[in-house]
Each structure stands twice: as C-alpha cells, then as structure tokens.
Amino acid sequence: MGVTPVLQIIALVAGTAFFAVAIFGVFEAVATLRSVRRLSDEVHTRLVPLIEKANITVDAFNAELLRIDGIVTQIEEVSDRVSSTTNAVQDAVHGPIEAVSNMGARLRGVLKRHR
C-alpha cells in the first residue's frame, strides 16, 4: 500500500468524523433552539397575564388616588369654611367686648377724676 491510499483513508476518516461532529452540532443547535422557543412561549404565556394584572392594579391605585384627592379637596373646603366662620364669630364677639372694655376704661377714668 502506498502513501496515497493511506492519505485517502485518513482524509476519508477525518471527513467522516468532521461530518459526524457537524451533524451532532446541528442536532444540538436545533434542540437548543427548540428549548429556547419553549421557554419563550412559557414566559409569554405567564408574563402577559401578570402584565395585565399589574395594569389593573395600577388602574385601581389611580382610582383610589383620585378618590383620596376628592376627599382631601373637600377637607380643604371645609377647613376654609370653618376658618371663615371662626373669624366671623371672633369679629362678632370681639367688637362688643372691646366696646364694653372701652366703656369700662372711660368709666374708670371718669370715676378717678371725680375722686
């Protein structure tokens, strides 16, 4: 047997091994892609409902914030009215008390002068 047939056999064995490794690589790549596809589908089926639930939760939270804003606005209006009423009552009571106090001071001054 000469050198050429031995080289041909070695090349044939090497080519067959390379082809087998390439086929194995292709099968592994296909299996990996299928696994990634299944994972992607599973994530999609689980993630979409979670996002929808989060959206509903955020909408409900916003509605509660609007409700609380309305309550706070009403409290502000009531406190403004109470403040206005308090000022009006204070002015209504303070005026006559001040008049009586001034009158008492004048009367005291008159009594001091006559003594």
The answer to the question of residue 94 being in a domain is: no
Alpha-carbon distance 110 to 115, whole Å? Answer: 9
pLDDT band at 102 (very low <50, low <70, confident <90, very high): confident
The answer to the question of residue 102 being in a domain is: no
Q: Which two tokens stand for residue 22?
A: 């390439």
Q: What is the pLDDT of residue 29?
A: 97
For the segment 36-61, what is each residue's pLDDT rounded down to a tens digit? 999 999 999 999 999 999 999 999 99
Prediction pTM value: 0.51
Amino acid 64 reads E
Domain with 57 in it: 1-85
Q: What is the pLDDT of residue 14?
A: 94
The answer to the question of residue 16 being in a domain is: yes
For the segment 81-95, what is each residue's pLDDT rounded down to a tens digit? 999 999 888 888 888
Q: How many domains does the chain have?
A: 1
